[in-house]
Amino acid sequence: MEVIDQWVAEFFLLRQHNPRASPINLISALKLGDSSDCIKLKISSVLRDISNSLIRGTIDEGMLDLLEILEKLLLQQHSLLMDSHKSAYCWTATECTLRFMWPMFASDGLFTDALERIWTKRIGILKESGSDLVTCDLLKWESDLKKALGDPELYQRIRETNIRGDQSDVDESTRRFGSDTIDIANEARGEREDGNGIGRDNANDGEGMECLENDGIDNVNAADEEHTVSAQDQEHEPSLDKGDEMAARELKEYLVEIQGHIDPSTRQGEEPNSAIDHSVDVTPPPTRVNRTGTGCQDHNEASDNVNEKGSDSQETWSSRVRPRRPTPVTLSVSPLKKGGLAKPHVRRPKKFWKPEEVEALREGVKEYGKSWKDIKNGNPTVFAERTEVDLKDKWRNLVGG
């Protein structure tokens, strides 16, 4: 019976795209056991909930605790960390920082505090422990966010390209695309489609937003999400607070259960330890800052965040910002057929082969034959700026073919 329950749970996790529905409910109802597979399934359900929270903008820093605990649990089971787990951590950390960028400025201090609290202290500890949660993307975000502190132009650019879309200034046809939904969902699935995540950004993403190696939070379908959330927002807006409150409570209870796997002394009904429950109050003062006419827009006033304290009646900020794209990384080789070039049919600048490249190619052919991919992978430094096709073409020239 438990096997069937697992199937049902897996099906639910794979198919449900409603950010307002918590998969934890079903997992709990099915009364799954504590086997390794079941725990992974439960972890997946938590990741799905975090994904939903990101989509809805209801993420808070307590999620970072949760994700860190999940990593410990997986380590205990000698299981590998899922990419979606790492991505969730990166996005959550970034989201919890970005929310302080709008409408405030760096000089207001809250952004600085968030940098110190999340990136310097929390992630600093992870770095020291060699955590797998510290990914390339996370480090790039850290670099950019800290750089933005002393660079008003970068601060402004990040702020403008990562805030949530406007709900009042845009016309009806574009409103839905201004929502977090499509972007988050695109991010989640897009990189599976185009490999390197290149060339799929909208105009706001600007130059260089090219790198995303992870596969995002699993199972999110952009079209479904977009449709679902829009419809849900329209149909159920009056009950948002109550529903979110329940989801927050479910998630917290679930956290206790998961933590129990790590620390048997922690059991259902007990309060999570302080490491879990010390999520900060990220609700900024209720006063509004005048808009500056930078193209940034006013945002949805409806509060949909009960994970943050005091959000019942006052506006919160988590619904305004969310991580959008990984930080800029310039590829050394343009992807030829994946839309990575600004315009189609723009040729790469001609780059003549250096003698050491030719020599490495000769050696590579001796070792691997005409397996251009292996040759390139066998000498990634020398061939950093060459594609497999380049290698093939050069060899053709060399042998006079």
Partner DNA sequence: TTAGGGTTAGGC
Partner DNA sequence: GCCTAACCCTAA
Question: Angle, to 10 degrees, between the axis of helix 36-56 and the axis of helix 180-194?
Answer: 130
Tell me the CB-side half-sphere exposure of residue 228, using CA atoms within 13 A.
19
What residues numbered 233-252 form the site for DNA, per CB under 7 A? Answer: none
Contact call for residues 123 and 261 (beta carbons, < 8 A): no
Stretch that binds DNA, among 160-168, 169-177, 288-296, 386-394 (CB under 7 A): 386-394
Residue 100 touching DNA (CB under 7 A): no
Contact call for residues 296 and 159 (beta carbons, < 8 A): yes
Q: Which of residues 61 and 357 has its CB atom nearest to DNA in the complex?
A: 357
CB 203, min distance to DNA, A: 22
Q: Which of residues 123 and 361 has its CB atom nearest to DNA in the complex?
A: 361
User: Quick one: 321 exposed, middle or buried, by C-beta within 10 A (0-12, 13-18, 19+)?
Assistant: buried
Spatial neighbors of 53 by CB under 8 A, at least 6 apart, are: 19, 59, 63, 247, 307
The DSSP code sequence of 176-191 is HHHSHHHHHHHHHHHH
Q: Which of residues 89 and 372 has its CB atom nearest to DNA in the complex?
A: 372
Contact call for residues 69 and 240 (beta carbons, < 8 A): no
Q: Which of residues 269 and 401 has its CB atom nearest to DNA in the complex?
A: 401
CB 338, min distance to DNA, A: 10
What residues numbered 316-335 form the site for DNA, per CB under 7 A? Answer: 334
Q: What is the rounded end-to-end Cα distance, in angstroms, of the chain?
A: 64
Q: Which of residues 271 and 367 has its CB atom nearest to DNA in the complex?
A: 367
Stretch that binds DNA, among 32-40, 103-111, 135-143, 343-351 (CB under 7 A): 343-351
Residue 390 touching DNA (CB under 7 A): yes
Strands (E), 182-257: none
> For DNA, which residue of 336, 339, 367, 384 counts as binding (CB under 7 A)?
336
Residue 147 touching DNA (CB under 7 A): no
Q: Which of residues 124 and 199 has its CB atom nearest to DNA in the complex?
A: 199
Q: Given the rule CB under 7 A, which residues bind DNA? A: 334, 336-337, 344-353, 370-374, 386, 388-390, 392-394, 396-397, 401
